[in-house]
Amino acid sequence: MPLAQETNFDGLIGPTHNYAGLSPGNVASANNAGGTSKPKAAALQGLSKMKTLMDLGIPQGVLPPQHRPDLDALRRIGFSGADEQVLKDAHEADPTLVAAIWSASSMWAANAATVSPSADTNDNRVHLTPANLISNYHRSLEHPTTTRMLRMIFKDESHFQVHDPLPDQMRFADEGAANHIRFANKHGDPGIEMFVYGFDRDDPAGGARKFPSRQTRSACEAISRMHGLDQSRTVYTRQHPDAIDAGVFHNDVIATGNEDVFLYHEQAFATSRSMITDIAGPLGHELTLIEAHNTDFSLNDAVTSYLFNSQIVTIPDGSMTLIAPLESQENPRVDAFVQSMIQDKANPINSVHYLDVRESMRNGGGPACLRLRVVMDVKEKQAVHQGVLLTDSLLSSLTNWVETHYPEELSAHDLLDHMLVRSNTDALDELTRILDLPGLYSFQR
């Protein structure tokens, strides 16, 4: 088996990052609605996380932000005239429409796509399906550009297949890798892919009551068919409805995994025990289970601290480290759990890096939300568009670009400022030169 590694592609946080309370069931987004955001600080926090990973020896990529505001989206629903007029009329009709088309939500790259490495697929290629994200209007605007971007980055069809997103219909509601965990002895070995859903057509009453379920079982099954996965090595499991109703709008808010380590809260899944046997069976050995119990910390602690939205990464010496948000360190029960986990020799996680991604966290996006994992062997990694792989020099260009173009602050009334439309367009035009992705945005074609 050729040596394979995981590359984390992080969404570069865009210049229009703002707090609009657009995602029902996402507690942080609701609590911070209408607040003043700090786009420049947000993007620098994201870049600093990418640097931490790169310095740990883990390959790091970057996915550019989308072009916002998406005025074409407003024109498609009947607003017309100059940009200024379109913004004004839409605001008068419904201010949430204006907020939606400004959202920088593509930063949460875990929702960009579901990825199956070549070791798992029947044609030995890496398969990616961009998520349709139809559960929320602002996020449903992302997939056309995401698809185009992934096809530019993973364009070599001898190694990669970037599928079309699933049909734009609730039956196939899909939120990407945030609801998918892949287990393997080592990244390059054939894996077990676990798909997690909230809604099941065969048991509609068994779902969440208060908040929407964003991922359907039908979507999971379709992706696994499209990716050519071995069904004896594929597991479908349901989120616990109480978890969704407590604010676990994606499974990566309550569970995560890396290689054969599985970290989760006891209230994450509707059925935990049989699911673990279903994973361990084809894997051929026991998983290293790290289960947080209610006696360790509550579901509410999990949602506010975002511990499970940490990245567990394998570093070059073969051990694992946890990339966790500062909010986890600030919760004494969660921090105590982390300290005992890294001391415990029964699992390979032996260090923690608490990072500041507070700007993203206030919209419900932790370290793991900000990245899309792609396991690739050496040849596949060489076939990726090299312009998006992070180096010290790319990091310094991106930092300068952010420093030059990003506003310090953004609040609701700025979303009516049509002058910002032009400056964002110019900034993104320059970004495609830095990343060597000409023609990515529709304004360039």
Going across the sheet that includes 113-116, the strands are: 113-116, 126-130, 160-162
CB-nearer residue toward ligand SUG: 178 or 181: 178
The yes or no reply on residue 22 touching ligand SUG (CB under 6 A) is: yes
Could you tell me the two tokens for 49?
Answer: 């996380």
The yes or no reply on residue 19 touching ligand SUG (CB under 6 A) is: yes
CB-CB neighbours of 89 under 10 Å? 16
CB of 430 to ligand SUG, least distance (A): 25
CB of 241 to ligand SUG, least distance (A): 18
Alpha carbon distance 231, 222 (integer Å): 12
Alpha carbon distance 421, 70 (integer Å): 9
The yes or no reply on residue 21 touching ligand SUG (CB under 6 A) is: yes
Could you tell me the two tokens for 235?
Answer: 């597991």
Count of residues touching ligand SUG (by CB under 6 A): 22
CB of 263 to ligand SUG, least distance (A): 15
The yes or no reply on residue 111 touching ligand SUG (CB under 6 A) is: yes
CB-nearer residue toward ligand SUG: 258 or 347: 258
Alpha carbon distance 304, 287 (integer Å): 27
Q: Give the residue, chosen from 364, 398, 406, 421, that forms a contact with ligand SUG under the rule CB under 6 A.
A: 364
| Stretch of 58-66, 106-114, 382-390, 422-430 contacting ligand SUG, by CB under 6 A | 106-114
CB-nearer residue toward ligand SUG: 42 or 390: 42
CB-nearer residue toward ligand SUG: 188 or 366: 366
Alpha carbon distance 245, 243 (integer Å): 5
Residues designated catalytic = 175, 250, 369
The yes or no reply on residue 23 touching ligand SUG (CB under 6 A) is: yes
CB of 215 to ligand SUG, least distance (A): 11
Phi and psi angles of residue 395, each rounded to the nearest 5 degrees, phi first:
-60, -40
Q: CA dihedral in degrees (112, 71, 96, 254; nearest 10)?
A: 10
The yes or no reply on residue 103 touching ligand SUG (CB under 6 A) is: yes
Sign of the alpha-carbon torsion through 150, 380, 315, 387: negative
The yes or no reply on residue 105 touching ligand SUG (CB under 6 A) is: yes
Alpha carbon distance 261, 308 (integer Å): 13
CB-nearer residue toward ligand SUG: 196 or 421: 196
Q: Give the residue, chosen from 38, 90, 91, 108, that forms a contact with ligand SUG under the rule CB under 6 A.
A: 108
Q: 266 to 325, contacts with ligand SUG by CB under 6 A?
A: none
Kindly state the helix (H) or strand (E) to which residue 359 belongs, with its residue range: helix 358-361
Q: Give the residue, chosen from 253, 255, 276, 440, that forms a contact with ligand SUG under the rule CB under 6 A.
A: 253
Site pattern 365..394 for ligand SUG (x: CB under 6 A): x---x-------------------------
Sign of the alpha-carbon torsion through 385, 430, 43, 20: negative
Sign of the alpha-carbon torsion through 425, 429, 430, 431: positive
Q: CA dihedral in degrees (252, 254, 257, 260; nearest 10)?
A: -150
Q: 43 to 62, contacts with ligand SUG by CB under 6 A?
A: none
CB of 302 to ligand SUG, least distance (A): 12
CB of 239 to ligand SUG, least distance (A): 12
The yes or no reply on residue 26 touching ligand SUG (CB under 6 A) is: yes
Helices (H), 56-154: 71-76, 83-93, 95-102, 137-140, 143-153
CB-nearer residue toward ligand SUG: 64 or 365: 365
Nearest to 252 by CA among 342, 193, 327, 175: 175
CB-CB neighbours of 364 under 10 Å? 24
CB of 104 to ligand SUG, least distance (A): 8
CB-nearer residue toward ligand SUG: 114 or 218: 114
CA 12, distance to chain mean position in Å, is 12
Q: 141 to 200, contacts with ligand SUG by CB under 6 A?
A: 178
Alpha carbon distance 338, 328 (integer Å): 9
CB-nearer residue toward ligand SUG: 31 or 272: 31
CB-nearer residue toward ligand SUG: 147 or 363: 363
CB-CB neighbours of 179 under 10 Å? 28
Rg (CA), the chain: 21
Q: Are 163 and 127 in contact (CB under 8 A)?
A: yes
The yes or no reply on residue 213 touching ligand SUG (CB under 6 A) is: no
Residues that bind ligand SUG in the complex, under the rule CB under 6 A: 19-23, 26, 29, 103, 105, 108, 110-111, 139, 178, 249-250, 252-253, 363-365, 369
